[in-house]
Amino acid sequence: MKSDVIRRAKAVLTPALRIHTDIVVRKARGIYVEDVRGKVFMDFSSGLATTNIGHNHPRVLQAIREQIDSLVHSGCIFYYESLVKLPEMLAKVTPKGLDMFFFSNSGAEAVEGALKLARFYTGRQGIVAFTGCFHGRTFGAMSLTTSSIRYRRNYQPFVPSVYHSPYPYCYRCFFGQRADTCKMDCYEHLERLFKHLIHPEEIACIIIEPVLGEGGYVVPPAAFLKRLRTLCDKWGILLIFDEVQAGMGRTGQWFASQNFGVVPDVMTIAKGIASGMPLSAVVSNRRIMSRWPSGAHGTTFGGNPVSCAAAIATVEVIQQEKLLDNARKVGKVALQRLRSMKERYQVIGDVRGIGLMIGIEFVKGGRPFTQGLKKIMDYCLRKGLVLIECGVDKNVIRLAPPLVIKQAEMDKGLDILEEAIRKTEN
Ligand SMILES: Cc1ncc(COP(=O)(O)O)c(C=O)c1O
């Protein structure tokens, strides 16, 4: 029987808002969520890749309480300690040189800010994005977003001068290549845009997710990102990495770009930054940021004192609990097990990932096995494991548990998942 809360929610919340499960939460702590009936779930979604240090971490709760006692809101009228301490701390862990910040509230808002910065700084209009990426649902961000037609349908016209090129999604290569035949046609395709559609001197920025999130949890070849860096340097284009999902430790480094040795000009951060309090950031270097003058961008709520305090505590917890190490360690063992499962179960077409950002793609006869994935996820949920899917065909499970997860908890989750796969395959 559905809870009364769900019945009431259906009456007052637009159906456009999709809530992924029917769980009505009483409380949450760490990787666990307890529903109003007392059933406990392991949350391998991290509340959409956000509670990287676990739900309701006591240090975050304490920081929030202390901040609430002194100041809740500033509206850009006042200075306060958390607004300055946070970027000072973040600047020590961001890729080299990225040390100036603009704080806003959501991932999409940070993407909007990054696009505005790129256009303002370069004086150019063109924006290049990649087919498969998700950047958010506001008009600028949505104009880039192509992870699914669901997010674009009935919203034309979009922001003009946006061009798309295929994401390097090697398992489903847009050009039909395999690892041994790959000549990086995806990069060539991008260069061809510049011959046919828009001159590179008219491009303000190239924006990409350094690890694809919503589009399928895909790790691109480092060489592709390196080529983007060279291309941008050659033409004075800003390279923007959207780290909204992959950042804040998810990949076992503070930021995904640090796995590839490529430093972007601009980076967006959100989700994991404040453990669920609304906060996001546009980050860039001094040379670029100093040419974005006072008033060229702004916010009422961005950099809220309480959100900044929660973010400071989040950064401290990641450091003190050595969560990057844990993400790498637990992620590596999980990947090994999943790769060995791929040899045993035909429905697993691909396993890929980095740190605790792992995608498992399900196929049947080489085609996306969306129905099978649904069954697998339903079974897991009944057994107390919350998973979410991704990919244009919704046939990829994204494993994105909190970085605080213990090896035994990951093993338990994967036991449930394996049982579900076995039952679905038979
Ligand atoms: C890479 C990326 N960029 C932007 C966004 C948009 O973030 P928000 O939902 O906070 O606006 C998301 C959200 O999933 C994301 O994964």
Expressed in angstroms and rounded, the spacing between residue 5 Cα and the centre of ligand 1 is 27
Buried b (16+ CB within 10 A) or exposed e, 249-262: bbbbbbbbbbbbeb
Q: From the CB of 106, is ligand 1 less than 6 Å away?
A: yes
Would you say the CB of residue 245 lies under 6 angstroms from ligand 1? yes
Which atom of ligand 1 is nearest to 138's Cα? Answer: 11
Final residue of a structural domain among 299, 320, 341: 320
Picking from 302, 320, 338, the residue at the C-terminal end of a domain is 320
pLDDT in the model for residue 426:
80
CB atoms within 10 A of CB 344: 11
Angle at CA of residue 281, ends 104 and 109, nearest 5°:
50
Backbone angles phi, psi at 118, to 5 degrees: -65, -45
209 lines ligand 1 (CB under 6 A): yes
Q: Are residues 139 and 104 in the same domain?
A: yes
The reported pLDDT for the residue numbered 425 is: 87
- One domain, residues 290 and 410: no
**Which residue among 103, 135, 212, 269 has the greatest number of ligand 1 atoms within 8 angstroms of its CB, and so is best to mutate?**
135
DSSP 143-158: HH--S-GGGTTT--S-
Number of structural domains the chain divides into = 2
Taking CA atoms only, the protein residue closest to ligand 1 atom 7 is 107
* One domain, residues 64 and 151: yes
- pLDDT above 90: residue 309: yes
What does pLDDT average to over the chain?
Answer: 97
Whether 102 and 44 share a structural domain: no
**With contact defined as beta carbons under 8 Å apart, do 200 and 237 qualify?**
yes
In the chain, pLDDT over 90 holds for what percent of residues?
98
Residues 6+ apart with CB under 8 A from 125: 119, 160, 161, 202, 204
Which alpha helices (H) appear in 293-406, and where do they start and end?
Answer: 305-320, 323-344, 370-382
- CATH code for position 15: 3.90.1150.10
Statement: residue 2 has pLDDT above 80: no
Identify how many contiguous H helices and E strands the chain contains and give both numbers.
13, 16
Within 21-153, where are the H helices? 46-49, 58-70, 81-90, 107-122, 139-144
Same domain as 138, residue 47 = no
Please give the distance, rounded to the nearest whole angstrom, from the Cα atom of residue 22 to the centre of ligand 1. 22
Q: Are 257 and 241 in contact (CB under 8 A)?
A: yes
Instruction: Tell me how far the alpha carbon of residue 307 lies from the centroid of ligand 1, in angstroms.
Output: 17
Q: How far apart are CA 346 and CA 421, in angstroms?
A: 10
Residue carrying structure tokens 């063992």? 333
Closest-lying ligand 1 atom to the alpha carbon of residue 268: 3
Output the pTM of the full model: 0.98
- Segment 52-57 shows an average pLDDT of 98
pLDDT digits (tens, 9 = 90+) for 374-415: 999 999 999 999 999 999 999 999 999 999 999 999 999 999
Nearest atom (ligand 1) to Cα of 209? 1
- Rounded mean pLDDT, 213-242: 98
C-alpha of residue 57 to centroid of ligand 1, in Å: 22
The size of the chain, in residues, is 426
* Residue 141 CA, ligand 1 centroid: distance in Å: 9
Tell the residue nearest (CA) to atom 3 of ligand 1.
Answer: 135
Q: Which pLDDT band, with edges at 50, 70 and 90, does 1 fall under?
A: low
Rounded (5°) CA angle 362-368-369: 60
The DSSP secondary-structure symbol of 210 reads: S
Query: What is the per-residue pLDDT across 233-265, written as a single tens digit (0 to 9) for each?
Result: 999 999 999 999 999 999 999 999 999 999 999
- Domain finish residue from 256, 286, 320: 320
* Residue 258 backbone phi and psi in degrees, to 5: -70, -15
- CATH number of the domain to which 268 belongs: 3.40.640.10
Predicted confidence (pLDDT) at residue 417 exceeds the cutoff of 80: yes
pLDDT category at 225 given cuts 50, 70, 90 is very high
Q: Is the CB of 213 under 6 A from ligand 1?
A: yes
Q: Does ligand 1 lie within 6 Å of residue 243's CB atom?
A: no
Distance from residue 291's CA to the centre of ligand 1 (Å): 26
Q: Is 108 in the pocket of ligand 1 (CB under 6 A)?
A: yes
CA angle 401, 406, 407 (to 5 degrees): 100
Give per-residue pLDDT as tens, 127-161. Answer: 999 999 999 999 999 999 999 999 999 999 999 99
Clarify whether residues 288 and 252 are in a common domain. Answer: yes
Looking at the CA of residue 136, tell me the nearest atom of ligand 1: 6
- Rounded CA-CA distance 360/400 in Å is 11
Confidence band of 3 (pLDDT split at 50, 70, 90):
confident
Alpha carbon nearest to ligand 1 atom 4, residue = 135
Angle at CA 416, nearest 5°, toward 415 and 419?
85
CA of 87 to the centre of ligand 1 (A): 21
Q: Provide the pLDDT for residue 99.
A: 98
* Cα 203 to Cα 163: distance, rounded to the nearest angstrom: 10
Distance CA 140, CA 142 (A): 5
Question: Within this chain, do residues 14 and 153 fall inside the same structural domain, yes or no?
Answer: no
Check pLDDT > 90 for residue 21: yes
Structural domain of 248: 58-320
Claim to verify: residue 293 and residue 388 sit in the same structural domain: no
Residues 136 and 231 in one domain: yes
Q: Is 254 within 8 Å of 272 (Cβ atoms)?
A: no
**Within this chain, do residues 27 and 70 fall inside the same structural domain, yes or no?**
no
Using CA positions, which residue lies closest to atom 8 of ligand 1?
Answer: 107
- Surface-to-core class of residue 290, CB atoms within 10 Å of its CB (0-12 exposed, 13-18 middle, 19+ buried): exposed
pLDDT of residue 275: 98
pLDDT, residue 256, reads 98
Taking the centre of ligand 1 as the mean of its atom positions, its distance from the CA of residue 248, in whole angstroms, is: 13
pLDDT tens for 323-352 read 999 999 999 999 999 999 999 999 999 999
Residue 53: per-residue pLDDT: 98
Q: Are residues 292 and 147 in the same domain?
A: yes
Q: Compute, in angstroms, the gap from residue 283 CA to the centroid of ligand 1.
A: 16
Output b/e per residue, 179-195; b: 16+ Cβ within 10 A: eeeeeebbbeebeebbe
Ligand 1 centre to CA of 270 (Å) is: 7
Residues 205 and 140 in one domain: yes
Spatial separation of the C-alpha atoms in residues 327 and 344, rounded to whole Å: 26
Q: Sort strands 32-35 and 100-104 into parallel, antiparallel or unpaired.
A: unpaired
User: Which atom of ligand 1 is nearest the CA belonging to 133?
Assistant: 1
